[in-house]
Structure 1
């Protein structure tokens, strides 16, 4: 009798699942999504263009573009418009490494980094002797991010290994979750060493080509004259979108697997099907073994303070979107009781999200231009899409899509406070001028900008006008040129010492570069050769 009840329950579940998914016609689904997404784009004015892909049961259900890819031309987004998918690249990096490792019987994700990169050393013996590929891919190293070090044009992929050897930990090894793009850059170097080719070439040969992702590219290589969405940041004064110089994304792409992939809705549909079909392409060929695919998706590290927690957790909202563990380039989570594989992607001008529900053989992807603070717009889209495809009554609608986080949370009012440019410095600005050096970051230059009548700080391709904050030797940096409107620095602290009874500036701590472990640059010269300044 018990066996009969179990069988009946299984049959009911199967019938229910088939009914809830298949009862939604593609036409009705598309109409519902058109109405919802177009309403979202009207009220989320920071996001000019968006692309969508949905797959189910080994088939592409829908790929579509919304809005415009370039505000200056009003060119429409299509399902073949290329976007930067940023940290969604991590799943590509992990998949590539696992695929390359499968060709070597003496290697696995547990192979030590030092065995692949001779003479490589971290700053602690425990990491040098024990850190392996899995550690790089699951964020267990305990290192702070140091993301703005990527502004340095000398930080090429060939230089990542030497820079990585200088990063100091802020948490114990394998005892924390600290998201780190630099370690994915190092993992890309490991892939190049194993595969014997540049990372981009390996991705094309091992993944793009066998999966038929012919429309995909890389931030380091993409031809911007093609069907490429222009990235936009946000003007804090107006709240509207401002175009971003793609050169900064070229720089970020040097980290390879951390952020380098550019793709479109058509190609990401193939990528989702590959993961849902346990390693097969659309022709049914086994590109990666089922065991290796399971290796990628298996949880490895507990996520602390997940991105979805702030706005999408019960009881504050009707349905939780949970992200509990990190796998290899994927996050393990739960939505409406279903196990979910998910990852966000955020870089200069682009905001993406992919969601897979393996038990339902279902996946959906959105990518957009513009900022998405708190990942809210992306999750609002995915929760609605998920509800439609799972046969649930959506807990969101066009009204709450635009009012969110209200009515569940009070809307926090963001007030723009322009930099006060009229505070007098506590000493002559000439005292601060000079070349400053940090062994990991390299050189930073401080000069007088006579046209602005204030200091200018240059680090790599980034430059900032510095204005006193009213506190002794403390400044705020307003981004100029390539980082204008996208990277301001709220805290820059110069330090002085007394030499022969005279106070002199001898270092600067750029707290905004990495708040958890601010780099200190020591003054090496009071004379700046402007020919050495990049930005």
Structure 2
């Protein structure tokens, strides 16, 4: 891309940032062996009017997964692990709810999300649990599919894979990533903890959109899930990561991993689903830590990343030697994807698709549907419960998810799970609805109470996984 193309691209980025109300953004564009652009836009801190630079640290979220997958290949090529050996051979304490998965699940299965286990992502918010605690709870989480049957995105099992890499090295996942990837790529400012991010003098404050306003949101500590999403980096250093991938495992005079393994990471292992609801994205597959999708006839390797207050994207066209990293400090924005697609249109000499217009239509449609759903909910609220509210009160426990506390205050039932609290409203005799405000979004949920043969409340259930075949999670009332 020439200077004129890059200038037009900068203008596009600035225009779309304003339209989509994104406070700050940092971009690196790589072409061939050269970093064509590494720049910051907007504010890393709105209140203090601090500008984003190419050195500003952002959370990259699930873009971390490809780092974990690369490290697995590095250890494999050193003869320390095998991706197709059941992980129970490396980690005897490993246990899934499904005994077949316990005996057969491999690192390859974990890294491409074909374990049979639905997301169970609410556990991400139990900040009292260590990585070891989370992995120990896998045995209590029911699968919804057989092993290797279907793509089911799962942060817990990527976390487990990373933990196993640390065990094989006699250290932690963090140290493996530092030694095998960050240090060789000269990624000296990148880090893997929310605490290190906050201590950096140049980091982006996380923001969310709430009732049409951009507001800061608390930093979400996902260090326990580190291998699935805790890396923090900047545009300059992520450019080195993209360069290494485009150059098939090489960076400067160093070879981090073989060309063969880079190709393996980018080879489809299971059909997935694209996050873009557009006609151009009818096919999506997952490899080792990467999504593989066609972009207007060209092979595209990518991964999105999103945690509270941050949205990121790493994407490149391996056969055309061009790539991009987009880091933002706003939650759940499609801006990284549309910026990447616009860059690829320009780099490939294609007519530009109005991705912003298309995404905006999706955005307005989703808002309209949400308003309709809320209107229906309001109509159905305030039904009569089948028994006195006090009878529902108590502590309900699930061995994987922990405790839910139901209390009666001011003639209303209140639910507490981890740090979240919500008021229950009766939907239909024994079923209540609630809005779970998890910071980055409000999740509407239902809660149904079950009674014993003696007519006493004995449990409650909630649909916490939306994948096909996933059962509701049942919490047993404690006496």
The answer to whether the aligner puts 1:435 opposite 2:395 as a matched pair is yes
* Partner secondary structure for residue 465 of structure 1: strand
Point out the more displaced range, 90-99 or 165-174: 165-174
Map 1:246-395 onto structure 2 (within 5 A): 246=219, 249-250=220-221, 252-281=222-251, 283-303=252-272, 305-308=273-276, 310=277, 312-313=278-279, 320-321=280-281, 323-372=283-332, 376-395=334-353
1:507 deviates by 1.0
In the superposition, the TM-score normalised over structure 1's length comes to 0.82
* Partner secondary structure for residue 9 of structure 2: helix
Partners in 1 of 2:29 and 2:266 — Cα distance? 20
Partners in 2 of 1:518 and 1:136 — Cα distance? 23
Partners in 2 of 1:402 and 1:291 — Cα distance? 40
Q: 1:423 aligns with which of 382, 404, 412?
A: 382
The answer to whether the aligner puts 1:51 opposite 2:26 as a matched pair is yes
1:48-88 Cα deviation digits (max 9, x unpaired): 11111100111111011111112222211111111111111
Which residue is equivalent to 2:448?
493
Which residue is equivalent to 2:113?
139
The answer to whether the aligner puts 1:217 opposite 2:174 as a matched pair is no
1:467 deviates by 2.5
Which residue is equivalent to 2:215?
242
In the superposition, the TM-score normalised over structure 2's length comes to 0.91
Structure number with bigger Rg: 1
Map 1:29-48 onto structure 2 (within 5 A): 29-45=5-21, 47-48=22-23
* Partner secondary structure for residue 394 of structure 1: coil
The answer to whether the aligner puts 1:65 opposite 2:40 as a matched pair is yes
Quickly say closer, same or farther: Cα 1:92–1:449, change in 2 above 3 A.
farther
Q: 1:520 aligns with which of 460, 465, 474?
A: 474
Which residue is equivalent to 1:17?
none
Partners in 2 of 1:166 and 1:82 — Cα distance? 36
1:425 deviates by 5.1
1:341 deviates by 0.8
* Partner secondary structure for residue 413 of structure 1: helix
Partners in 1 of 2:113 and 2:49 — Cα distance? 40
Which residue is equivalent to 2:459?
507
Q: 1:474 aligns with which of 431, 436, 439?
A: 431
Partners in 1 of 2:214 and 2:450 — Cα distance? 37
Partners in 2 of 1:336 and 1:402 — Cα distance? 18
Point out the more displaced range, 213-222 or 330-339: 213-222
1:240 deviates by 2.2
Contact 1:40/1:402, CA 8 A, preserved across alignment: no
Map 1:122-271 onto structure 2 (within 5 A): 122-225=96-199, 226-235=201-210, 238-246=211-219, 249-250=220-221, 252-271=222-241
How many residue pairs match? The answer is 471
Quickly say closer, same or farther: Cα 1:261–1:331, change in 2 above 3 A.
same
Quickly say closer, same or farther: Cα 1:368–1:449, change in 2 above 3 A.
farther
Structure 1 unmatched ranges of 5 or more: 1-23, 314-319, 526-535
Partners in 2 of 1:215 and 1:278 — Cα distance? 24
1:458 deviates by 1.9
Contact 1:493/1:509, CA 8 A, preserved across alignment: yes
Contact 1:464/1:478, CA 8 A, preserved across alignment: no
Partners in 2 of 1:307 and 1:157 — Cα distance? 28
Contact 2:114/2:151, CA 8 A, preserved across alignment: yes
